[in-house]
């Protein structure tokens, strides 16, 4: 394997620049943003730094090659041309994950099977024995991505995707991915030096990610990575990771800023409590039952108020009026907090006008399949550096279409 690995880290669409920035801080070189990810060069220890420390990347892939693959036979031939004996041994277990886009093949299972057959046959041919498949806990994960007839093959350095930090012990209906929550915090410029509040915290993802930042805790500290089991690199990776983990533990620091979450749903709050405890941040994060439209006054010292309110997608079109009324009240409540920067991730196009304030910055991004907008508002009685300044000066939007008396259904 070359001294510097050419790698590809994946991320939510619309956050590629944030990941590129983070990778630069982690020592990556020749960084190039792509759709849904970032290409970069890294030595093995830099690559392991990325696995351990990236808060935003979802996966770190080691691309093996790109091929034109026509039909089932072409697919098999392309995969069989890869020198798998450089990455596997007959004793190594492996699994194949296939994703398809606009492909002549309609089943990922079929493509994964063809890839598996070609790997096994090549190994048997070159090594006289074949590795076994272990779909649950493989040593090596092969990722096959087929767009039309263009096949990319990679090995996944992480194994379980990086958003699986290990602290989500109690899920709720619409949690943010941990990596996306971290991307929002970076977009909002959160470095752990100021107070943080999520007034609709759900299962607590934004607060926990904020707590990890404030604590300077490596997001991957509680998990291991697939590369540790690779036959040719595993021993070296384990050795390097032992040092990186020890350094990370030594350099954690005390959290000196308040981190506070509210939710009006006791079940969501209970999930948040459990997740916060599993993240070992129970002393750092306070949770209270509360209504975001009637938020109590927060400390005048200010900080970052960041949240993703309900999008209202389960209410149907009849519920849209209620959502607008809710967003209107939310605007009044959040803006009343002097000195607090307000950032909102919204997946409801009606949010921006109903919130009745002009954002200082706007970013389009994807929360899974949902097109969302991240809006940043200056604090009342202050200004802040905008991440993507909008042309017009700050002024209230025309709110004639939205009346607070448009009472609606409860939101969730």
Ligand X SMILES: C[S@@+](CC[C@H](N)C(=O)[O-])C[C@H]1O[C@@H](n2cnc3c(N)ncnc32)[C@H](O)[C@@H]1O
Tokens describing residue 130: 């074949």
CB of 160 to ligand X, least distance (A): 19
Q: Is the dihedral of CA 35, 40, 44, 49 positive or negative?
A: negative
Residue 87 or 168: the one with the smaller Cβ distance to ligand X is 168
CB of 181 to ligand X, least distance (A): 6
Q: Angle at which helices 108-127 and 71-80 pack, to 10 degrees?
A: 40
CB of 294 to ligand X, least distance (A): 8
Q: Which helix (H) or strand (E) holds 126?
A: helix 108-127
Residue 263 or 352: the one with the smaller Cβ distance to ligand X is 263
* CB-based burial, 220-231: b 16+ in 10 Å, e otherwise: bbeebbbbbbbb
Report DSSP state, residue 338: B
Q: How many helices (H) and strands (E) does the chain have?
A: 10, 14
Residue 103 or 373: the one with the smaller Cβ distance to ligand X is 373
Residue 192 or 310: the one with the smaller Cβ distance to ligand X is 310
On whether the CB atoms of residues 189 and 110 are closer than 8 A, the answer is: no
CB of 58 to ligand X, least distance (A): 16
CB of 328 to ligand X, least distance (A): 12
Residue 231 or 408: the one with the smaller Cβ distance to ligand X is 408
Report the C-alpha gap between 285 and 255 in whole angstroms: 10
Query: Is 254 exposed, middle or buried (CB count within 10 Å of its CB: 0-12, 13-18, 19+)?
Result: exposed
Report the C-alpha gap between 44 and 21 in whole angstroms: 20
Tokens describing residue 287: 């949770």
CB of 15 to ligand X, least distance (A): 16
Cβ-closest residue to ligand X? 202
Across the strands, what pairs with 362? 375
Could you give the 3-state DSSP secondary structure of residue 403? coil
CB of 271 to ligand X, least distance (A): 8
Binding stretches for ligand X (CB under 6 A): 172, 174-176, 200, 202-203, 205-206, 262-265, 268, 291-293, 308-310, 411-412
Report the C-alpha gap between 409 and 22 in whole angstroms: 41
3-state helix, strand, coil in the chain (%, to 5): 35, 25, 45
Query: How many residues appear in the chain?
Result: 412
Residue 252 or 410: the one with the smaller Cβ distance to ligand X is 410
Residue 348 or 361: the one with the smaller Cβ distance to ligand X is 348
Dihedral class, residue 364 (left if φ above 0, else alpha if ψ from -120 to 50, else beta): beta
| Nearest partner of 304 among 394, 225, 378, 389, judged by Cα | 378
Residue 322 or 339: the one with the smaller Cβ distance to ligand X is 322
CB of 353 to ligand X, least distance (A): 19
CB of 192 to ligand X, least distance (A): 19
Report the C-alpha gap between 184 and 338 in whole angstroms: 22
Residue 138 or 303: the one with the smaller Cβ distance to ligand X is 303
């Amino acid at each position: 394997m070359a001294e510097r690995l050419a790698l590809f880290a994946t991320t939510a669409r619309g956050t590629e620049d944030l990941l590129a920035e983070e990778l630069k801080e982690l020592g990556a070189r020749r960084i190039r943003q792509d759709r849904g990810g970032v290409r970069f060069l890294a030595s093995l220890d830099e690559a392991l730094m990325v696995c351990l420390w990236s808060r935003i990347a979802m996966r770190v892939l080691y691309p093996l090659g790109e091929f034109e693959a026509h039909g089932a036979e072409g697919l098999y031939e392309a995969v069989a041309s890869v020198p798998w004996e450089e990455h596997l041994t007959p004793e190594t277990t492996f699994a194949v994950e296939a994703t398809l886009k606009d492909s002549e093949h309609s089943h990922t299972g079929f493509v994964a099977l063809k890839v598996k057959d070609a790997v096994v046959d090549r190994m048997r041919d070159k090594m006289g024995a074949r590795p076994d498949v272990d779909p649950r806990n493989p040593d090596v994960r092969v990722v096959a991505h087929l767009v039309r007839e263009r096949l990319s093959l990679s090995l996944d350095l992480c194994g379980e995707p990086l958003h699986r930090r290990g602290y989500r012990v109690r899920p709720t209906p619409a949690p943010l991915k941990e990596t996306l929550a971290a991307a929002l915090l970076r977009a909002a410029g959160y470095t752990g030096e100021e107070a943080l509040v999520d007034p609709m915290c759900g299962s607590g993802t934004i607060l926990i990610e904020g707590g990890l930042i404030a604590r300077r805790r490596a997001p991957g500290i509680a998990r291991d990575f697939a590369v540790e089991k690779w036959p040719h690199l595993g021993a070296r990776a384990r050795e390097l990771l032992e040092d990186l983990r020890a350094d990370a533990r030594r350099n954690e620091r005390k959290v000196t800023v308040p981190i506070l979450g509210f939710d009006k749903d006791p079940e969501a709050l209970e999930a948040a409590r459990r997740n916060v405890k599993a993240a070992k941040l129970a002393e750092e994060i306070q949770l209270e039952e509360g209504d975001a439209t009637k938020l109590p006054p927060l400390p005048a010292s200010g900080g970052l108020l960041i949240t993703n309110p309900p999008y209202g997608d389960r209410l149907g079109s009849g519920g849209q009026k209620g959502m607008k009324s809710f967003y209107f009240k939310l605007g009044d409540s959040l803006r009343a907090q002097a000195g607090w920067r307000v950032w909102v991730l919204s997946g409801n196009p009606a949010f921006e006008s109903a919130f009745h304030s002009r954002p200082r910055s706007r970013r389009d991004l994807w929360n899974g399949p949902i097109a969302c907008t991240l809006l940043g508002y200056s604090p009342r009685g202050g200004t802040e550096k905008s991440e993507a300044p909008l042309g017009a000066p700050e002024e209230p939007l025309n709110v004639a279409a939205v009346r607070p008396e448009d009472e609606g259904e409860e939101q969730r």
